[in-house]
Amino acid sequence: MKCPYCGSENNSTSGFHKKELRRGRVRRWRRCLDCGEKFTTIEFYVPDDIMRHKKGNHEKEIKI
């Protein structure tokens, strides 16, 4: 994760700086260890593909 202020990838987050949001999203509060600025990220999972199980035991890929 790059710092939006200085571009450094040297940042830190602690367990208590995390909040679970709806729909599987997570908000994290981070601090850049180089410039000291604080920033927030919202992270979520994006699946590569979704498979739909059809009758007759076959699967069909769903394009997003």
Residue 5 lies in a domain: no
Residue in this structure with the two tokens 């830190």, named with its chain if needed: 12
pLDDT of residue 6: 92
**Model confidence at 38, in pLDDT bands (50, 70, 90)?**
confident
* Range of the structural domain that residue 19 is part of: 11-62
Q: What is the mean pLDDT of the chain?
A: 77
Asked if residues 19 and 27 have their Cβ atoms less than 8 Å apart, the reply is yes
- The secondary structure of residue 12, as a DSSP letter, is E
Residue 3 included in any domain: no
Q: How many domains does the chain have?
A: 1
How does residue 47 score in pLDDT terms, banded at 50, 70 and 90?
low
* Pairing mode, strands 18-20 and 26-32: antiparallel
pTM above 0.75, yes or no: no
The number of helices, as runs of H, and strands, as runs of E, in the chain is 0, 6
CA distance 17 to 59: 40
- Answer yes or no: is 31 within a domain: yes
> Does any domain span residue 4?
no
Task: Output the CA torsion sign for 21, 42, 37, 18.
Answer: positive
